[in-house]
């Protein structure tokens, strides 16, 4: 759950190239950071607490031709200089992203070796040093390390007797190599080096990469040199620039119409029948499970209700962290759908592997091509949200929801004569809506509050869950979403004159019920807001009405913008909220 970058180069490169690249990885963690760089044939290590900007303050104005750097999100051991990467023992200096599950056992084998911190990463650093001392062969030592360690990792290693090269290995954590004119890059994510090259090589599990000057060598499991393919990355430079917006989150909210248009253009540019060529018919399954974490789970809940309403297939949505340990035996006529922006979330990946063992068909809705979920699912589907930088997801969530809608249409609604036009109209409806929204009265009401509640039924409840998550994760206001009917079974006890309650009402059949629940909380002096797209509901915020199937894509943009504005006015770091990382590759 950390970010790593490194490079070797034929020419000298400013350290700023590494620190700037590292900043692109801050979404993966930002509690401490560090760099190891070769200067004048000496290896130097600098570390800092906090964000990359702190590290930059202590970097000399120098150049390097071999360096590795890291931004950390603490798992083993608190954020401290000792626990920050790079780690160094004897001949080995390394950076690590992941979790080594058997690190205590490895530590025992180290005997009297003195460790300076508490991290699993330092243990494998010392362990690799021990292995290298035995065989004096870089490749052999790394190969042995991989036989010994259990868990997930992306590692970049510099050996003290070969200061012009970097070795890389990975398992269940991303590590992408970039081939530039004079240099070879490595990073957890292409965005870290996209300013320098879009020519990438995806390192496979079990392979070892050696970066040396501008040369890349890849060794297979038998330590034989193997061929590799250089591909053009789908990430582009514009994706990692704020382009005049106050925050990346705002930019990404505003990109949603473009993402929707891009996906429609890809999957059904001319008519709905084209969906047949690109998407699986999910109606052939007798039951469906959907699995995800965070907002991806919420997208799954939207999908669940829409599938049940439109295809009448029973669906159950699971949090991946629960699914992986649940005693579930799925029938062979089940389709398991996995949703993940990154395609690397550890729990979602473990859940997918569990389904594969059960011989269940797996479909993954993923935003990163070549990610583990994308590679391992039987039916991978790429959402075309492009790179998302803000930790709080917006456009990737919408892309997941749209993909679920397209699957539903393909599996039962292709003959609806007006649906294609309604889909194509969506980007404009959303653009017009978000650019005309006046949120100031609501922001003023919320900015000093400490509790907010979101209530709704059916699809509205699924929207409320995402709305509450968006607001809480970036503004730090305590937010809860409730199925409106559940309120009086306990939670209404919390409501008083300091409470703010939002009711989302897009679902016609339950509109009156939710309105009654809103009246109940208003009677307890809560400040209430009704958010609705329905014509006959008197709403504080009127959301443009589109076809019921498509409504969530319009409605959610209101809550995303609201969360953004409230977080800004509260002085929060919108793009990098405290304690959160965008990609959770540990349990
Ligand atoms: C983190 C992110 C969320 C995301 C969740 C699942 O918690 O902050 O925005 O929804 O992980 O990530 P995934 O990459 O699997 O969609």
Question: If pLDDT is split at 50, 70 and 90, which confidence band does 487 have?
Answer: confident
Q: How many CB atoms lie within 10 A of CB 560?
A: 26
Residue 110: alpha-carbon gap to chain centroid: 35
What residues contact residue 118 under an 8 Å CB cut-off, 6+ apart?
A: 76, 77, 78, 82, 83
49-103 per-position pLDDT tens digit: 999 999 999 999 999 999 999 999 887 788 999 999 999 999 999 999 999 999 9
Q: What is the 3-state secondary structure (H, E, C) of 272-289?
A: HHHHHHHCCCHHHCCEEE
pLDDT for the residue numbered 464? 98
First to last CA, the chain: 10
Ligand 1 close to Cβ of residue 584 (< 6 A): yes
Average pLDDT over residues 265-292: 96
Catalytic residue, chosen from 47, 470, 472, 582, is: 582
118 within 8 A of 180, measured Cβ to Cβ: no
Average pLDDT over residues 200-227: 96
pLDDT for the residue numbered 130? 97
Specify the pTM.
Answer: 0.84
340-362 per-position pLDDT tens digit: 999 999 999 999 999 999 999 99
Listed residue (499, 456, 496) closest to 478, CA to CA: 499
Protein fold of 242-434 = Rossmann fold (3.40.50)
Domains 242-434 and 437-587 fall in the same CATH topology: yes
Tell me 247's DSSP state: S
Q: In what order do the strands lie in the sheet with 176-179?
A: 42-49, 32-39, 63-72, 3-14, 183-187, 176-179, 199-202, 231-232
Average pLDDT over residues 10-25: 95
Query: Which sequence spans correspond to the domains of the chain?
Result: 3-238, 242-434, 437-587
Tell me if residue 151 falls in helix, strand or coil: strand
For 333-373, the DSSP string reads TEEEEEEESSS--HHHHHHHHHHHHTT-EEEEEESSTTSHH
377-418 per-position pLDDT tens digit: 999 999 999 999 999 999 999 999 999 999 999 999 999 999
pLDDT greater than 90 at residue 227:
yes
Average pLDDT over residues 489-506: 91
Active site residue 582: yes
User: What average pLDDT does the structure give for the chain?
Assistant: 95
- In the reported structure, the alpha carbon of residue 295 is separated from the centroid of ligand 1 by a whole-number distance in angstroms of 6
Listed residue (109, 108, 113, 72) closest to 92, CA to CA: 113
- In the reported structure, the alpha carbon of residue 294 is separated from the centroid of ligand 1 by a whole-number distance in angstroms of 5
- What are the percentages of helix, strand and coil residues in the chain, rounded to 5? 40, 25, 35
Average pLDDT over residues 243-250: 92
- In the reported structure, the alpha carbon of residue 139 is separated from the centroid of ligand 1 by a whole-number distance in angstroms of 35
Q: Does domain 437-587 sit in CATH 3.40.50.10490?
A: yes
What are the C-alpha distances in Å from 461 to residues 78, 98, 300, 514? 37, 34, 12, 10
Task: Retrieve residue 367's tokens.
Answer: 């935003």
In a mutational test of the pocket of ligand 1, which residue from 401, 583, 586, 587 has the highest number of ligand atoms less than 8 Å from its CB?
583
More confident residue, 173 or 273: 273
In a mutational test of the pocket of ligand 1, which residue from 368, 584, 587 has the highest number of ligand atoms less than 8 Å from its CB?
584
Out of 19-33, 201-215, 522-536, which region has the weakest mean confidence (pLDDT)?
Answer: 19-33
Distance CA 253, CA 63 (A): 38
pLDDT greater than 80 at residue 583:
no
pLDDT for the residue numbered 492? 85
Q: Does domain 3-238 sit in CATH 3.60.20.10?
A: yes
Tell me if residue 89 falls in helix, strand or coil: strand
Which run of H or E residues covers position 165? strand 165-171
């Amino acid at each position: 759950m950390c970010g790593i970058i490194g490079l070797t180069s034929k020419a000298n490169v400013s350290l700023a190239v590494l620190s700037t690249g590292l900043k692109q990885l801050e979404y993966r963690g930002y509690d401490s950071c560090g760099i190891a760089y070769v200067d004048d044939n000496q290896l130097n290590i600098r570390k800092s607490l906090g964000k990359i900007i702190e590290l930059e303050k202590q970097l000399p104005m120098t150049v390097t031709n071999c360096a590795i750097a890291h931004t950390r999100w603490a798992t083993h051991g608190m954020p401290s200089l000792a626990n920050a990467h790079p780690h160094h023992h004897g001949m080995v200096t390394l950076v690590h992203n992941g979790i080594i599950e058997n690190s205590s056992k490895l530590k025992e084998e180290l005997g009297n070796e003195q460790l300076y911190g508490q991290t699993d990463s330092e243990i494998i650093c010392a362990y690799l040093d021990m292995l290298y001392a035995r065989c004096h062969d870089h490749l052999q030592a790394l190969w042995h390390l991989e036989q010994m360690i259990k868990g997930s990792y992306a590692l970049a290693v510099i050996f003290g007797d070969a200061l012009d090269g970097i070795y890389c290995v990975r398992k269940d954590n991303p590590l992408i190599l970039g081939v530039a004119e004079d240099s070879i890059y490595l990073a957890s994510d292409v965005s870290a080096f996209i300013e320098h090259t879009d020519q990438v090589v995806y390192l496979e599990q079990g392979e070892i990469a050696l970066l040396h000057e501008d040369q890349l060598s890849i060794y297979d499991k038998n330590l034989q040199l193997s061929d590799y393919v250089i591909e053009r990355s789908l990430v582009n430079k514009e994706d990692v620039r704020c382009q005049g917006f106050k925050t990346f989150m705002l930019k990404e909210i505003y990109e949603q119409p473009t993402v929707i248009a891009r996906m429609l253009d890809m999957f059904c540019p001319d008519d709905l029948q084209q969906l047949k060529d690109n998407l699986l018919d999910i109606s052939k399954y007798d039951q469906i499970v959907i699995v995800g974490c965070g907002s991806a789970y919420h997208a799954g809940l939207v999908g669940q209700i829409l599938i049940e309403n439109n295809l009448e297939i029973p669906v159950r949505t699971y949090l991946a962290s629960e699914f992986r340990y649940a005693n579930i035996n799925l029938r062979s006529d089940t389709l398991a759908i996995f949703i993940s922006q990154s395609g690397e979330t550890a729990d979602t990946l473990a859940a997918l592997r569990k389904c594969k063992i059960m011989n269940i068909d797996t479909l993954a809705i993923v935003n990163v091509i070549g990610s583990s979920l994308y590679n391992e699912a039987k039916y991978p589907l790429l959402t075309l949200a492009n790179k998302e930088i803000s930790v709080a997801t917006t456009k990737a969530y919408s892309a997941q929801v749209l993909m679920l809608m397209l699957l539903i249409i393909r599996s039962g609604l292709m003959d609806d004569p007006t649906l294609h036009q309604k889909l194509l109209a969506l980007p404009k409806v959303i653009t017009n809506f978000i650019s005309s929204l006046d949120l100031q009265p609501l922001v003023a009401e919320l900015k000093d509050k400490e509790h907010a509640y979101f209530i709704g039924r059916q699809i509205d409840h699924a929207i409320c869950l995402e709305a509450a998550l968006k607001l809480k994760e970036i503004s730090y206001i305590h937010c809860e979403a409730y199925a409106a009917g559940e309120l009086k079974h306990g939670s209404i006890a919390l409501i008083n004159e300091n409470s703010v309650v939002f009711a989302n009402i897009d679902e016609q059949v339950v509109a009156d019920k939710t309105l009654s629940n809103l009246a109940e909380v208003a009677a307890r002096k809560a400040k209430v807001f009704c958010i609705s797209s329905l014509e006959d509901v008197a709403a504080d915020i009127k959301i443009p009405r589109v076809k019921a199937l498509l409504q969530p894509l319009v409605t959610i943009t209101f809550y995303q913008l609201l969360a953004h504005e409230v977080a800004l006015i509260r002085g929060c770091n919108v793009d990098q909220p405290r304690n959160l990382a965008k990609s959770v590759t540990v349990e």
